[in-house]
């Protein structure tokens, strides 16, 4: 399982196993696709997320938002997306079921093999919280190793 460095600006970010970012990106994609969100490069962001979800960026999965969010208004839109993802995850209860995990559309066969037991929503919310902090400019770490309690 590859580890990647997720950063947004000024090399501030965190290390995490890519398989967990794929899962987070699925829920971000599900929220961002809604027509209520307007971004200049929305389709490009959605396409990038889908490539990650499908496993096509395995070994070099990165967050490309600093290239596609063109101003602070769009960063605020993405913060709203992430806050709504967090609410959606909280509403699922303590775990994301195996059936939901297995139903996630991806071309990555390893994703389906890896997620064979319920995933704790608190662990996914931890990722979303850091992404929000990164967009808000309050995240200060340049080498945080995010440990996810799964498996």
What is the average per-residue pLDDT within 132-143?
Answer: 94
Q: 52-66, 73-87, 95-109, 125-139: which has the minimum mean pLDDT?
A: 52-66
* Residue 48 near residue 64, CB atoms below 8 Å: yes
Residue 1: what pLDDT?
Answer: 65
Q: Which of the pair, 10 or 39, is modelled with greater confidence?
A: 39
Residue 75: what pLDDT?
Answer: 95
Per-residue pLDDT of 11-57, as tens digits, reads 899 999 999 999 999 999 999 999 999 999 999 999 999 999 999 98
Per-residue pLDDT of 53-88, as tens digits, reads 999 988 878 888 888 999 999 999 999 999 999 999
What percent helix, strand, coil does the chain show, rounded to 5?
A: 50, 10, 35
- Read off the pTM: 0.95
| DSSP H/E element including 144 | strand 144-145
| DSSP H/E element including 96 | strand 95-96
Q: How far apart are CA 123 and CA 16, in angstroms?
A: 12
């Amino acid at each position: 399982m590859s580890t990647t460095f997720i950063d947004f600006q000024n090399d501030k970010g965190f290390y995490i196993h890519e398989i967990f970012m794929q899962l987070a990106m699925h829920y971000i994609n599900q929220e961002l696709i809604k027509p209520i969100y307007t971004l200049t490069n929305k389709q490009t962001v959605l396409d990038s997320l889908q490539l990650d979800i499908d496993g096509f960026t395995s070994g070099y999965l990165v967050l490309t938002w600093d290239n596609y969010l063109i101003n602070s208004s769009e960063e605020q839109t993405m913060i709203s997306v992430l806050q709504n993802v967090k609410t959606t995850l909280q509403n699922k209860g303590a775990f994301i079921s195996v059936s939901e995990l297995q139903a996630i559309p991806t071309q990555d066969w390893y994703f389906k093999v890896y997620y064979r037991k319920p995933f704790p929503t608190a662990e996914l919310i931890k990722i979303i919280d850091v992404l929000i902090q990164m967009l808000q400019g309050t995240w200060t770490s340049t080498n945080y190793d995010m440990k996810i309690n799964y498996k």
